[in-house]
Copies of this chain bind each other. A is one copy, B any other.
Amino acid sequence: MFSKACEYGIRSVLFIAEQSQLDKRPNIVEIAKAVDSPEPFTAKICQQLARSGIILSRKGPNGGFYLEKDSKLTLAEIVACIDGDSIFKGCSLGLPQCSAAHPCPVHDQFNDVREGLKKMCENTTVTQLSEKLRKGETFLKI
């Protein structure tokens, strides 16, 4: 459903969010270890997210990645930053011109699924998810 980059990206942001709540600023080594992802690739992804302002970063000693204190970040924003919004918008059969007026054969069927996915991603906040993580109710690796 998502690219590997996006999977690593979401996992990384959730870990960063959890650590931010504890006033920590994990670096790439810690992040990659925590979410069990390849370190240099994860670095690329975090840099992309930081460049887009999705997460914040600080260079130098004791630096790392972190989130704004009252971040309202949603899953949808992370996905759109890494994979683009074709998963929310694009035609399931890859037709360049697919719309209600000129629908592909599965347009109606997939519209519901897609709309459900979109709404869910827009309504799910990172804070909300990292809270469960902190409580040990959910897991980021293995």
Question: Are the C-beta atoms of A1 and B142 separated by less than 8 Å?
Answer: no
Copies assembled: 2
Decide if A116 is an interface residue (CB 8 Å cutoff).
yes
Cβ A104 vs Cβ B138 within 8 A = yes
- Least Cβ distance of A16 to chain B in Å? 13
Closest 5 CB pairs of A and B: A7-B94, A105-B129, A105-B138, A113-B117, A7-B93
For this complex, 27 residue pairs linking A to B, each with C-beta atoms less than 8 Å apart, are: A1-B87, A1-B90, A1-B92, A2-B92, A2-B93, A4-B94, A7-B93, A8-B94, A10-B106, A11-B93, A11-B94, A75-B106, A75-B109, A93-B140, A95-B139, A95-B140, A95-B142, A103-B137, A104-B139, A104-B140, A105-B130, A105-B132, A105-B138, A106-B129, A109-B124, A113-B117, A113-B120
